[in-house]
Copies of this chain bind each other. A is one copy, B any other.
Amino acid sequence: MEKKPYLTPKQEKVLNFIRERIGERLPPTIREIGKELGFKSTGTVRDYLKALIQKGLVRRMNNKSRAIELTERASFKIPIIGTIMAGKPNLAYEEIQGYVSADDLFLGRLGFDDVFALRVKGDSMIDAGILDGDVAIIKKRPDANNNDIVAALLENNEVTLKRLRSKSGKFHLEAANVNYPPIFEEFKVIGRLITVIRKY
């Protein structure tokens, strides 16, 4: 993971403004940057952009309005400060190990087309760490394998989240909670669980 190169305070401000505007869905024009930062000349802004490009933080397309992009290097990342050893803590605070982008954490580079969400209700998957109220992100039409957690359509036309198991060539569904018996009826796998999100 490359570190961010040194930026002068003003360069930092320009970069932050660009980041902000991109976050608001419309990258700024050169003149908009100048107006925000108090520069009276477009040339000044171009000098800053040139510096940011040279430092590898910004990319541009020629002759296209607002065509300013942030590179990987400059795009916002959430720092992973350490691995929490939930059992025995063993990592010092402030030791930044790397970065994850919010996108990567969330859905990665999946297309959205074949993804949907289900809110989990009940405790039948509690031993797999899936709790009542969690949001389950499901990828449709997957190649679901033995032991994958899947969303399955049951005979009564209802959906459930269970672990897919095969036993002597036949698939069935298992809860992750001893209080729930396995399901041997007919079912159709709708999708595979790819992500669980829980908000507190």
Contact = CB atoms under 8 A, between A and B. Distances in A.
B92 A102 contact: no
A85 to B, nearest CB: 5
Contacts of A102: 106-107, 112
Interface string A147-166: 01101011011111110000
A121 B86 contact: yes
Contact of A87 (B22, B122, B135): B122
Give this chain's copy count.
Answer: 2
Interface stretch (A7-15, A35-43, A76-84): A76-84
Contact of A116 (B26, B79, B87, B124): B79
Interface of A: 22, 25-27, 29, 64-67, 69, 76, 78-93, 100, 102, 105-108, 112, 115-126, 129-132, 134-137, 148-149, 151, 153-154, 156-162, 175, 177, 180, 190, 192-200
